[in-house]
Each structure stands twice: as C-alpha cells, then as structure tokens.
Amino acid sequence: MSYLSLFWLATITVVPVVFWAAPARYRFFVLIGATAAALAYLDPNSLVTLVALTALTRALSRGQSVSGARAALATAAIAAVLVGFKIASGGIGGDVATDIAIPLGLSYYALRCIHFVLERYKGRIEDPGGRDLISYLFFVPTIFIGPIHRFPDFSRDLRRHRWDPAFLAEGLERIIYGLFKIAFLANFVVANLMDSARINLGPDQAGAAVYAAMVGIGVNLYLQFSGHSDIAIGFARLLGFRVMENFNWPYLKTNISEFWRAWHISLTSWSREYVYTGVVALTRSPALGAIATLVAIGLWHEISLRYLIWGAYHGLAIVAWQRFQGLKRLGPEVRSTALRRLLEVLSVILTVHFVWLGFLLVRQDSLAEMGSVIVQMFTGGW
Amino acid sequence: MWTYNFLRRHLPERAAFFVTAIWFGLLIALVIHTAFEPQADFRYANF
C-alpha cells in the first residue's frame, strides 16, 4: 500500500475538512467512519478482520481491571490471528502459493491491540469505553502503515481537541516532505537513476553492481518508509493529533544499538517494552533479550527463515556491540578530537553498511543465495 | 512551520517567507512531475 495515489490525496484532503466541520461530539464518528470507508473501499475482508479484532480487544479489556489470565488470553488470541494470517499468506518468495492476503494494516493493528490490553493489565490505562478505544484503533492516518502510536498520547489529544491553524501548516509541511521523499528522492532519484547506473555496469563489474544494488535498496527503503511515516504524522497533525516519530536519522548512527533506537522507533520501542522486558524478566539475560527482540521484529515483518536470520543477524550484532563496549573500557582512551571524529565517521560508515547488507540478504530466498551475493560482491569485480 | 522557523533564524522575515514559498513550490512541482514516473516496488515485507 502506498500513500502516493489519488485515493490517499483525496482522503487526506476530505477527512480533515469534514472532521473540523463536524460538531465536536461527532468528530470521533468521522475518524471511525473514514477508516471504515477506506477499508471497505480498498479491501472489505480487512474491515471484517479488524472489526473482529477490535471486538475481541474490547471484550477482554473492559471493566475496572484486567486480570493476568484475561490479558494473556487476549494477547495470545491477537498474536494467533496475526501469526495465522502471516503463515497463511505465505510471504514474499515463500514456498506456499496462496490466495489469502494479509488484512491491510493488521501487522500494526495487532500490536496496537496488544499494547492496549497489556497497559490495561498493568493498570496504566483506565477503561476508556468502547468509543475511545475504537477511535484509537481505527485512527485513519496510522492504521495502514503506522506509526504504532500509543493510547495515552491519543487519548490526551482527543480530550484537548480544538482547532489551531498551526496544525494545518505543520501537517501540510510534513506531508509535502513525505511525498517529496517518496516520489522524487526514492522513486525517481534512487530507483530510476541509481538502477540505470547499476545496469550500465559491465559484466566484469558484478561486485560493483551488487554493491550498488545494496546501497539502492538501503537508501530507497529508508526514503520510502520514512516518507510514508511523514505523511501519516502530517495527516494526523491536520486532525489535531500528535503521533510519535518513527525515524531519527538512523543512517547517521555510530553503532547498531543506536541504529535500532532510531529506526522504526514505534516498533522498536513497542518491542523493547513488551518483548525485551518480558524475556529479560524471565531469563535474567539482556543478551538473550536483545536477540529474542530482534528475532521477533524480524518475524513480525514476515514469518520466514530469511527474516529469522535477519533478526538474529541484528540481535547478535547488538550483543557483540555491547560486549565490545566492555572491552573498549580496558583499552587506551582516545584523546585527540580529530582522531575521535575520524573514528565516529568510520563507525557511521561501518554501521550503515552492516544494516544495508542485512537488507540485501533478507531479499534473498535462501541461505545459499545469501552466501552467493556476498561472494559476488567481493569477488565479482569492480 | 519548521522550515520557515529554521530560515527565520538565518534570514530577515520577508526573505525567509519568500524562500519558504519558493522551496515548497519547488518541492510540490518535483512531486507532481515525478509522481508520473514509473513507481519503485515498495515491497519491504509481507504486511
């Protein structure tokens, strides 16, 4: 799904106008109605699935408090729906040929439902009633491609709701930057120009071609994904809501740990809160927690061997980085500012290449192909 | 508006306003122009 379409241009224009024109007490109807209409138009089956998940979340999280058993049942049921669809839909390049498509936005929707149930269980959220819960889950700017925003922030904005012209300026600015990233930088500059440069490389430059493809994939992915997040955040701003940021210059980070705090922030912070803390509480091992979290993030993208490997690749890198931090303290301190700057630049280059290599590898269908692209990059000629 | 506020720190008010307007005009023109180019395949994963 892409925001770069006339359908989304019309939605982003019409929904805020109707929203602010409606009397305040009916505005939540506009939010819910807009999402339901978009889902019904794009894929009615997705609407049915998301409504069923909403009913399940509401049924198992209502009342004064939510017991551990109810929270566990709700989390298991929501996770089972997500995993079931992911397996049934086969995955890109998977061996299973299937007509079942994963419902639109389900990957994000399920995590929002689990967040709500677990926060209710921990007692951090009072029962807000069905209307606020549905408004949160059916929030049109974020339902399809995230960010996975949190209920307390949404609820606060819903309470303080009033028109401010600054929303329009901030929202439109963000949307224009998002469209610029997707249409011009990603689809035109990176995909078209870089791809044609790569194709023009000779047969004796296969290594350079693989490297160029790797850089193209890494840069394109960031521009596409952060562009879509910009549009979602801008769209939410037009409606007077502040949605959490999803990216914070991830390709300028000096190590893999920092990278994962700056890439897809709404997912990584969710995983830290609900996967990492759980695993560490059970095992008392931060290293196992990091690996389990990154593997879970990998499998959230797609349930396949290659995403499992991709998750473990990053998880092990974070563990290695943490171990290296311990060793670094034993070594001599770098006093020269120039040398420290140089090391920082080298760290950024190394980190970004490690991340890009991961993106290249996860696009291969088997372990053999992953090995083959690495061999080709180093021995195929430049 | 982030762009205007950023420029306002370095330019006089009127100049910041015009540069912001030209900058966004350019961005919108580029988006409209390139939106008709062939689209990249954004298949990050099976969402």
- Alpha-carbon distance of A230 to A51, in angstroms, equals 27
* CA A170 – CA A176 distance, rounded (Å): 10
Which of A144, A182, A303 to probe the B interface (max B CBs under 10 A)?
A182
A311: nearest Cα among A349, A343, A275: A275
Q: Are A89 and B46 a contacting pair at CB < 8 A?
A: yes
Burial class (CB in 10 A: 0-12, 13-18, 19+), A330: exposed
Token pair of A31, please? 């939010």
A40-54, A72-86, A90-104, A312-326: least confidently modelled range: A90-104
**CA-angle at A281, arms to A276 and A286, nearest 5°:** 55
Residue-wise pLDDT tens digits, A289-308: 999 999 999 999 999 999 99
**pLDDT value of position B45:** 42
- A280 confidence band (pLDDT: 50, 70, 90): very high
Residue A147: asked if its preceding bond is cis (omega within 30°), the reply is yes
The residue whose two tokens read 């500012």 is: A337
With vertex at residue A320, the alpha carbon angle to CA A318 and CA A323, rounded to the nearest 5 degrees, is: 110
Q: What is the DSSP letter of B38?
A: P
Q: What is the identity of the amino acid at A253?
A: K
- Token couple for A319: 């563990």
Per-residue pLDDT at A326: 81
Contacts of B3 in chain A (CB under 8 A): 173
Reference A147, options A234, A216, A77, A81; nearest CA is A234
CA distances from A209 to A197, A213, B16 (A): 9, 6, 43
* Continuous H helices in chain A: 6-21, 27-42, 44-61, 68-88, 106-122, 130-137, 151-159, 165-179, 195-199, 206-238, 256-262, 265-271, 277-283, 286-301, 305-328, 337-362, 367-379
Contacts of A89 in chain B (CB under 8 A): 46
Identify the weakest region by mean pLDDT among A40-54, A156-170, A263-277, B24-38.
B24-38
Q: What number of helices (H) and strands (E) belong to chain B?
A: 2, 0
Find out whether the peptide bond into A44 is cis, omega within 30 degrees of 0.
no
Shortest CA distance to A61 belongs to which of A170, A151, A187, A181?
Answer: A151
A364 touches chain B (CB under 8 A): no
- Which residue shows structure tokens 């999280």? A61
What digits encode the pLDDT tens for the residues A116-142?
999 999 999 999 999 999 999 999 999
Of A19, A10, A376, nearest to A204 (Cα)?
A: A376
The predicted model gives A319-338 an average pLDDT of 85
Q: What is the DSSP string of A93-127?
A: T-S---S--PPTTHHHHHHHHHHHHHHHHHTSS--
Higher-pLDDT residue of B2, A67? A67
For chain A, what percent of residues have pLDDT higher than 90? Answer: 70
Rounded to the nearest angstrom, the minimum Cα separation between B33 and chain A is 8
Nearest to A273 by CA among A257, A256, A289, A249: A289
Q: What is the pLDDT of residue B42?
A: 47
- pLDDT, mean of residues A104-120: 95
Contact A196, A212 (CB under 8 A): no
Q: Give the model's pLDDT for residue A183.
A: 87
* Residue A66 binned pLDDT confidence (cut-offs 50, 70, 90): very high
Among the partner residues B3, B34, B45, nearest to A184 by beta-carbon distance: B34
Residue A80 class from Cβ within 10 Å (0-12 exposed, 13-18 middle, 19+ buried)?
Answer: exposed
**Predicted confidence (pLDDT) at residue B46 exceeds the cutoff of 70:** no
pLDDT at A98: 57
What pLDDT is recorded for position A366?
A: 87
pLDDT of residue A99: 63
pLDDT one-digit tens code per residue, A206-247: 888 889 889 989 999 999 999 999 999 999 999 999 999 999
Q: CA-CA distances (angstroms) from residue B21 to A173, A184, B15?
A: 11, 19, 10
Asked if B42's CB is within 8 angstroms of A173's CB, the reply is no
Partner-chain contact A176 B31, CB within 8 Å: yes
Q: Residue B38: which pLDDT band, with cuts at 50, 70 and 90?
A: low
Closest-CA residue to A382 (of A205, A149, A237): A205
Identify the CA nearest to A136 among candidates A224, A58, A222.
Answer: A58
Find the chain B residues whose C-beta atoms sit closer than 8 A to any C-beta of A: 1-3, 24, 27-28, 30-31, 34-35, 37-40, 42-47
Cβ(A159)–Cβ(A132) below 8 Å: no
pTM value?
Answer: 0.90
Question: Which residue of A176, A181, A184, A365 is the best one to mutate when testing the B interface, meaning the one whose CB has the most B CBs within 10 A?
Answer: A184
The full DSSP string for A125-154 is S----HHHHHHHHT-TTTTTT-----HHHH
What ipTM was estimated for this complex?
Answer: 0.75
pLDDT at A356: 97
For A32-55, letters b (16+ CB in 10 Å) and e give bbbbbebbeeebeebbebbeebbe
> Which of A 182-201 lie inside 8 A of B, CB atoms?
183-184, 186-188, 190-192
